[in-house]
Structure 1
Amino acid sequence: MASRLSREAQLVSQLTALKSELATTKEQAASIAEKYQLASVELEKRQGEASTRGDETQRTRMAIQRKTELLSQQKAKVSSLQQELEQASKKLERLTTAEKQTAVLQQKAKEHTQQLLQARQCYEQCHNDNIQLSLHLEKTKTRHASIVTRLKAARAESANLRTELKNSVKVGTKGANSSDNQVEMNVSVASLAEETRALKRRVLQKQDVIVSYKAKLTEYEAQLERQRETMVKLARTNRELQQGQRQRQQQEQEYISSVHAKLETQLGAKQEQLDGLRASVYDSFEAFVYCQPPSLTKTSSSSDGLLDSPLTEDKDDKLFAIRRWTDFSVNDLEELRLTRDPLRPQENEHGRLRRKIAGTALQEVERALEANPEDCRAEICELLQCLYK
Structure 2
Amino acid sequence: MTRTGPAAAAARTADAFARLHGARPDGVWSAPGRVNLIGEHTDYNDGFALPMALPQATRVAARRRDDGLLRLYSAQSGEDRTTELRVTDLVPGAVPGWARYPAGTVWALAGAGHQVGGADLYVDSDVPAGAGLSSSAALECAVAVAYDDLYGLGLPGPELARTAQRAENAFAGVPCGVMDQMASVCCTEGAALHLDSRSLEHRQVPFGLDPHGLVLLVVDTRVRHDLADGAYAALRAGCERAAGLLGLPALRDLAPGELGAALDRLPAELAPLVRHVVTENARVTEAVRLLAAGDTPALGPLLTAGHASLREDYRVSCAETDLAVDTAVAAGALGARMTGGGFGGSVIALVPAARADGVRGAVTEAFRRAGHRAPAVLRAVPSAGAARIA
TM-score by length of 2: 0.20
- Select the structure of larger CA radius of gyration: 1
TM-score by length of 1: 0.20
Bigger fraction of residues in helix: 1
Does 1 or 2 have the higher relative contact order (CA < 8 Å, sep 6+)?
2
Bigger fraction of residues in strand: 2
